[in-house]
Structure 1
Amino acid sequence: MLVLGAEDVESILATIDYEDLVQLMRTVFETLSGSPSRRDPAEGQGEDVASPLRTTIHSQKQTTLFMPSRLAVSGGSGIKVVSIPRQGASPNGLPATTLLLDDDTGRVNAIVNATQLTALRNAAGSALATRLAGISSPNRIVLFGAGLQVLHHAKMFLRLYPTLESCTIVNRSFNARLNNLSDRLRFEFPSKTILCGLLSDAPFVQNALSRADIVCTATPSASPLFETSWLNRTAHINLIGSYTPEMREVHDDLIAAASLILVDSIRACSVEAGELIHVPEDRLVEVGHFSCSKTSQGRSAGNSVAIPRESYTVFKSVGVGVQDVAIAAFIVEHGKEYGFGNVVSY
């Protein structure tokens, strides 16, 4: 059994091309949204793919999520366990672990520290959705939050979109997390303009949003973060933070006005996403279905799709377990190639 700790994962990530992660998420979502013959859409179960809804357990200090899944094409079977503090934010990301099982024996094949991987797979999913929504040469991106989700979203987009000139981070306070994040981004991307501002500074936020081509929200907010009227009308918005019916990061009128609403899973978002639980399912389009339909029309899988940008486009992700199995297996494969981790007899 291979064990990859946080330092191992950090070292492996330094060797990885972000484009490979985007294509990995493309495979994940296309497989998840495959034909009914490959899975039962009501239960999310099948021989090749299984993605049941997460199980939640509450303790005095933590909310712990258990996400079992199976993706035969990439990773096999596994489960991720992640704990979310009930008060405050975790300074070093959410504690998360993914177990991968051996398909032949059923035994644990690998244990992977998934603290960074959760944020990284979300960032890759957002990048894929943004590309599919037709954003090809953006100049400005705005991100809400200051945790690992925002770090990896900023790095993902700044690497994949060379045309981005500025990155604005909006947080509730000027704290150590925000300072460390902005310092790190300025160091890694010295040619980019990195700006920071407070959520309470409405003029700053409004000005940033009015010029933004891409907006990413990654907060567990129970109320909308900004007014819809502040947005650039042709912006693409990635909603990553909310994961319960009580949470919502944007107003209903933004969702109502969106020309396209992409989701990672209709079944999951209709139950877990506060922004979408009252939205008719026929307005939601799974990113895997959308990707398959555009590829089948002869477009290159690596290119953005030209769609009319009459209004906002939205991608909502609550996260699905098959993403975790796929990215953990990807990391394990690279870990073995470069000799990272510890092999433990079990």
Structure 2
Amino acid sequence: MIAIDAETVHGLMDWHRVVEALRDGHRGPRPSIDDLLMRNEGSAFLIRASWVPGGAVGLKAVTVFPGNPNREPPLPAVQGQFLLFDGDTGAVTAAIDGAAITALKTAGDSALGSDLLSRRDVETLAMVGAGAMAEPLIRAHLSVRPSLRRIVIANRTVGRAEALKERLADTGCEIKTTASIDTAVAAGDVVSVATMTREPIIRGELLRPGAHLDLVGAYTPDMREADDEVFRRGRLFVDARETTVHEIGELMIPLAAGVISEDDIQGDLFEMVPGSAGRASPEEVTVYKNGGGAHLDLMTAGAIHHAWLQQHTL
């Protein structure tokens, strides 16, 4: 069994490789996906498993402790491991740092969604939230939309947004920070949201015509980031129906209220990648729910394992 730590993962992968691994994974058969989520006082223990028919098997076990970055010394909010199993023998082929995979597949998922849905001429990226996922999301979005030249970072704690701005100086983009979520949303051609909120913070009335909204943060039945008007205005897409429609509050709550129906979901990545679903006009608002299922971890782990083998067999 190969053990691949976080430093090695980031040395092996870049955003192009991650996005293309996810794109290729959605050209194959739909995998089986299953989750176990346990929560305790705001923290979570999450086990995600996936099995590709005739292919690999993978399981990720991670903890999510949102208060960890505020400890002294700081600790990662997400920690865990991914186990990759051989599809023929069932043997464990690799153990890979779970937090590294989570960051890559989550941001890569959103970047692939944007590549398939956002306009090619977008110029301003609005990032709502300045937590651990904000920097990977920004860099992943930039990798698929080089037309982006402005970034607006909105966070209620402006100091965290300023620190993120400094880390992104190498992008060459004009970067502004604000405490106003509304200001960022109104400015964005692409709006990416990664927060821990349980109440909607994105107001659909503020989205620009032709904007693409990337909803990342909500991952439990009681979490949502977008208000009802987002779904009234926008055409809705998801990364996978199995991991979003009846699993995450972002869709479960407006579905239960009758704001949307399952028929309003225009497609998922298994339909968008082959080209059977996507943006219909330059003026429409597209809404993409990133559910981050175990199959995405498995696709990313497969690419990491392949890259490691290439490097060590030269």
Fold in common (TM above 0.5):
yes
Cα distance, 1:103–1:225 mapped onto 2, change above 3 Å: same
2:305 aligned with 1:332, yes or no? yes
Match of 1:22 in 2: 19
Match of 2:142 in 1: 158
Match of 2:168 in 1: 185
2:30 aligned with 1:51, yes or no? no
CA deviation vs aligned residue, 1:30-84 (integer Å, no higher than 9, x gap): 435x5xxxxxxxxxxxxxx2112x10123567411100111257x7101011111
Match of 1:131 in 2: 115
2:233 aligned with 1:257, yes or no? yes
**Which amino acid is the alignment partner of residue 297 of structure 2?**
D
- Once the two structures are TM-superposed, the CA of residue 224 in structure 1 deviates from its matched residue by 1.5
CA deviation vs aligned residue, 1:152-173 (integer Å, no higher than 9, x gap): 1111122332211111111120
Distance 1:126 1:23 in 2: 13
For structure 2, the 5+ residue unaligned runs are none
Retained in 1: the 8 A contact 2:185–2:206? yes
2:264 aligned with 1:283, yes or no? yes
Cα distance, 1:160–1:311 mapped onto 2, change above 3 Å: closer
For this pair of structures, how many residues does the alignment match? 302
Match of 2:83 in 1: 99
Match of 2:193 in 1: 217
Aligned with residue 318 of structure 1, among 285, 291, 298: 291
- Once the two structures are TM-superposed, the CA of residue 294 in structure 1 deviates from its matched residue by 4.0
Retained in 1: the 8 A contact 2:218–2:248? yes
Cα distance, 1:293–1:227 mapped onto 2, change above 3 Å: closer
2:88 aligned with 1:81, yes or no? no
Distance 2:161 2:100 in 1: 17
Match of 2:154 in 1: 170
Distance 2:16 2:153 in 1: 23
- Once the two structures are TM-superposed, the CA of residue 87 in structure 1 deviates from its matched residue by 4.9
Aligned with residue 119 of structure 1, among 103, 106, 124: 103
2:129 aligned with 1:145, yes or no? yes
Where do 4+ consecutive residues of structure 1 move more than 4 Å?
A: 86-91
Q: Percent identity?
A: 25
Retained in 2: the 8 A contact 1:26–1:288? no
- Once the two structures are TM-superposed, the CA of residue 132 in structure 1 deviates from its matched residue by 1.9
- Once the two structures are TM-superposed, the CA of residue 185 in structure 1 deviates from its matched residue by 0.6
- Once the two structures are TM-superposed, the CA of residue 197 in structure 1 deviates from its matched residue by 1.6
Cα distance, 1:315–1:127 mapped onto 2, change above 3 Å: same
Match of 1:42 in 2: none
Cα distance, 1:104–1:207 mapped onto 2, change above 3 Å: closer
**Which amino acid is the alignment partner of residue 184 of structure 1?**
R
Distance 1:147 1:280 in 2: 32
- Once the two structures are TM-superposed, the CA of residue 332 in structure 1 deviates from its matched residue by 1.7
Report 1 or 2 for greater relative contact order, CA contacts < 8 Å, sequence distance ≥ 6.
Answer: 1
**Which amino acid is the alignment partner of residue 79 of structure 1?**
L
> For 2:133, what is the secondary structure of its paired residue?
helix
Distance 1:228 1:59 in 2: 32
Distance 1:306 1:271 in 2: 24
Retained in 2: the 8 A contact 1:134–1:307? no
TM-score (norm 1): 0.80
Match of 2:48 in 1: 67
Distance 1:173 1:7 in 2: 29
Retained in 2: the 8 A contact 1:123–1:156? yes
Distance 2:163 2:312 in 1: 30
For structure 1, the 5+ residue unaligned runs are 35-48, 296-304, 341-346
Match of 1:267 in 2: 242
Retained in 1: the 8 A contact 2:212–2:286? yes
Instruction: Name whichever of 244-253 and 102-111 sits farther off.
Output: 102-111
Distance 2:163 2:115 in 1: 29
TM-score (norm 2): 0.87
